[in-house]
Amino acid sequence: MTADLPLNITADMQTNQLTIRRSFDAPKELVWDCYTKAELLDQWFAPDPLTARTKSMEFREGGHWHFAMIDPDGNEYWARFDYETIDPTDSYRARDAFSDETGAVNDDMPVSVWDVTFEDTASRTVVQIVASYESTEAMQSVRDMGMEDGMRSCFDRLDRLLKARTATAN
Amino acid sequence: MDNNSPNLDTVFLAFADPTRRAVLRQLGQGPASVSDLSAPFDMALPPFMKHIRTLENAGLIITRKEGRVRTCEINPARYAEVEQWLIDQRKGWASRYQKLDALLETLKGQTT
């Protein structure tokens, strides 16, 4: 394996969006499959030390993916992605929500809408996820305060941190 | 866990109102009494106090009462949690994508 390709994450306080952009050294169709087929998603979608396990998957407009992320102690964190629009193999839009084991959405937890696009470049595929949070209005306000009122500006620091790390592979 | 911070949720709720955001912005300049904070708003004291309590319950502000005056101030620790949430996002995605890289390598080997 070569070193990781750069991961670009930016939080836009104006639009309440988190953008996650990354290249993959593989053809677009293959990358698309990894994002849209349960048996492949289960192999990567949960960050370490968690593992993903699909309960049900219907990848079609109006369908949803219901899965758990499981920690090493066996605790299950359930979530579901509801697919709103699908344009194979270029893009899809899904609503990301926490749920329980039955698939009932947990309204107390933040929900985000994901616009995921797949883009061919010379030898790689670029995937961009724009996650729009209801909640990042919160971040906007936090940032406003930091900037305007001289409060400790955590987001400025974070911006710098993200910029620095974006330039280098992890 | 990625995206999963129950504590943060009360923060998001507290921010979802223009009056509460204005109060927070004002408090960014330093502690203030409830009556001073309510002055710019055309609002009776009971509903205004409800906003104050929402902010306090979310941990975004700390209030204390001295005699008849209730003073409010920002709680910076809460803002640090929002920052941590973003750092966790990054960690989670870096980890996921390492796995995806490995998976793609395997799949490429199978198809070619």
Which of the 8 DSSP states describes residue B89?
Answer: H
- Under 8 Å CB pairs connecting chains A and B tally to 137
pLDDT at B8: 62
Would residue B83 count as lying in a domain? yes
> Which pLDDT does position B9 carry in this prediction?
62
In a domain, B50, yes or no: yes
Interface touch A145/B24, C-beta < 8 Å: yes
A9 token code pair: 């994450």
Q: What is the pLDDT of residues A87-109, one digit of tens each?
A: 999 999 999 888 999 999 887 66
Instruction: State residue B111's pLDDT score.
Output: 66
Residues in B 22-41 with any Cβ partner in A closer than 8 A:
24-25, 28-29
| Residue B30 pLDDT > 50 | yes
Total domains present in chain B: 1
DSSP B60: S
CATH number at residue B101: 1.10.10.10
pLDDT, averaged per 10 consecutive residues of chain A (170 residues), comes to 71 68 91 95 91 97 97 93 97 93 82 92 88 59 39 34 39
**B11 has a chain A CB within 8 A of its CB:** yes
* Residue B84: band (very low, low, confident or very high) from pLDDT cuts 50, 70, 90: confident
Give the span between the Cα atoms of A167 and A151, in whole angstroms.
28
With CB atoms and an 8 Å threshold, state whether A77 touches B4: yes
How many other CB atoms are found less than 10 A from the CB of residue B60?
26
Give pLDDT, residue A87. 98
This prediction's pTM: 0.63
Question: Do the Cβ atoms of B76 and A152 come within 8 Å?
Answer: yes
CA distance A69 to A36: 17
Helices of type H across A37-72 = 38-41
Domain housing B57? 6-109
In a domain, B1, yes or no: no
In three state form, how does the secondary structure of A110-159 look? CCEEEEEEEEECCCCEEEEEEEEECCHHHHHHHHHHHHHHCCCCHHHHHH
Residues of chain A with C-beta less than 8 angstroms from the C-beta of B9? 108-110, 135
| CA trace torsion B87, A113, A21, A88 (10° rounding) | 150
Inter-chain contact A157–B98, Cβ cutoff 8 Å?
no
Q: What pLDDT score does A164 carry?
A: 41
Residues of A with Cβ-Cβ distance to B92 under 8 angstroms: 47
**What is the distance in angstroms between the Cα of B5 and the nearest Cα belonging to chain A?**
8
B92 Cβ under 8 Å from any chain A Cβ: yes
Strand partners, B55: none
pLDDT digits (tens, 9 = 90+) for A129-151: 888 876 544 444 444 443 333 33
Q: How many CB atoms lie within 10 A of CB A121?
A: 9
Residues of B in contact with A98 (CB under 8 A): 3-4
Report residue B25 CA to chain centroid gap. Answer: 13
Within 10 Å of residue A35's Cβ, how many Cβ atoms?
A: 19
